[in-house]
C-alpha cells in the first residue's frame, strides 16, 4: 500500500501493519476501568447517593471520599466494587508520585 505525499508515492509506515502483539490501551496506559466505575455509580445510586464520574476521575480526594462512603454501607457487592476501585486509584496515585 502506498500513500501520496507531495505528489510522490511513498510506502506507508510499518506501524500501520497488522500485528499480533496488541496491548490494550486501557491496560497499557493505566486508564480507569470505566465499566467498574459505571457499576460503582449505579450501585451508589441504588442507595440514593449521586456520584459524579467526572469528579471520580479528576479529583482524587472526592473519589476517596465516595469510596469510603461506599465501604460504610451494608452492601457486600458495593463494598467489593469500591475495594477494586480503591486498588486502581491507589496504584494510579503511586504511578503519579514516581
Is residue 27 included in any domain, yes or no?
Answer: no
Task: Identify which has the larger pLDDT, 16 or 28.
Answer: 16
Is residue 94 included in any domain, yes or no?
Answer: yes
Is residue 92 included in any domain, yes or no?
Answer: yes
Is residue 30 included in any domain, yes or no?
Answer: no
Percent of the chain with pLDDT over 70: 62
Is residue 53 included in any domain, yes or no?
Answer: yes
Give me the number of domains the chain comprises: 1
Residue numbers of the domain that contains 70: 43-98
Is residue 33 included in any domain, yes or no?
Answer: no
The model's pTM is 0.65
What is the Cα–Cα distance from 78 to 76, expressed in whole angstroms?
A: 5
- The answer to whether 92 touches 30, Cβ cutoff 8 Å, is yes
Is residue 88 included in any domain, yes or no?
Answer: yes
9 in helix, strand or coil? strand
Is residue 35 included in any domain, yes or no?
Answer: no
**pLDDT tens figures, 20-33:** 665 555 444 567 78
Amino acid at each position: 500500500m502506498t500513500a501520496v505525499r507531495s505528489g510522490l508515492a511513498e510506502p506507508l509506515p510499518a506501524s500501520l501493519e497488522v500485528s499480533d502483539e496488541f496491548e490494550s490501551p486501557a491496560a497499557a496506559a493505566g486508564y480507569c476501568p470505566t465499566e467498574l466505575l459505571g457499576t460503582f455509580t449505579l450501585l451508589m445510586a441504588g442507595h440514593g447517593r449521586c456520584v459524579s464520574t467526572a469528579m471520580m476521575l479528576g479529583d482524587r480526594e472526592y473519589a476517596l471520599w465516595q469510596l469510603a462512603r461506599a465501604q460504610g454501607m451494608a452492601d457486600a457487592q458495593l463494598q467489593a466494587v469500591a475495594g477494586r476501585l480503591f486498588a486502581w486509584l491507589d496504584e494510579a496515585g503511586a504511578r503519579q508520585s514516581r
